[in-house]
């Protein structure tokens, strides 16, 4: 059956209702399967967009972490260089070098822990929903084969 759009002029285009469209194609099962497949695609695309947004946030957090580490390293190196200029004995130089190595190692360990935390957060926010979509997709695609 064809209907006119409400509120449109007399010469408006006709819109086919859902039943008329399936009658015209002759196969309501195929149309229904196509609609389900299209919906599955839309849901998967939405999950990919959410994963992309989470990845973007994770990369931004990694970027901030790396910048903070570099700034800290430069500040430590600059203060050590200034202290080395004032060193009077080899013992002072060795002590400053040991302090610099220790500060760099502590900063590296702390930075690695923060990067691991960012990676785990990203996995929870993006990869888990994607794996759920994978399971749903495989179930939907396996149904016609089982029937």
∠ CA 20-26-28, nearest 5°, is: 75
Report the pLDDT value the prediction gives residue 14, as an integer from 0 to 100: 38
pLDDT of 81 = 93
Give the helix, strand, coil percentages of the chain, each rounded to 5: 85, 5, 10
Under 8 Å CB-to-CB from 68, ≥6 apart: which residues?
Answer: 111
How do the pLDDT tens digits run along the chain, 147 residues long? 445 445 444 433 434 344 444 455 556 777 777 888 888 889 989 989 988 988 999 999 999 999 999 999 999 999 999 999 999 999 999 999 999 999 999 999 999 999 999 999 998 888 887 888 888 888 888 876 555
Task: For tokens 């500060």, name the residue.
Answer: 103
Which pLDDT score is estimated for 126?
A: 82
Structure confidence at residue 9 (pLDDT):
45
Query: Which residue, 134, 111, 108, 120, is CA-closest to 40?
Result: 134
**pLDDT at residue 141 in the model:** 80
User: What is the predicted pLDDT for the residue at 6?
Assistant: 52
Q: Evaluate whether 96 touches 83 at the Cβ level (below 8 Å).
A: yes
């Amino acid at each position: 059956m064809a209907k006119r759009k409400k509120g449109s002029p007399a010469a408006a285009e006709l819109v086919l209702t859902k039943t008329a469209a399936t009658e015209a194609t002759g196969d309501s099962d195929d149309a229904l399967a196509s609609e389900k497949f299209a919906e599955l695609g839309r849901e998967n695309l939405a999950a990919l967009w959410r994963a992309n947004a989470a990845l973007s946030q994770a990369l931004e957090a990694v970027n901030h972490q790396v910048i903070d580490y570099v700034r800290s390293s430069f500040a430590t190196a600059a203060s050590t260089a200034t202290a080395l200029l004032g060193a009077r004995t080899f013992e002072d130089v060795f002590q400053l070098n040991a302090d610099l190595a220790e500060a760099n190692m502590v900063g590296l360990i702390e930075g690695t822990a923060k990067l691991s935390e960012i990676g785990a957060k990203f996995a929870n926010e993006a990869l888990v929903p994607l794996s759920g979509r994978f399971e749903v997709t495989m179930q939907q695609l396996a149904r016609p084969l089982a029937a």
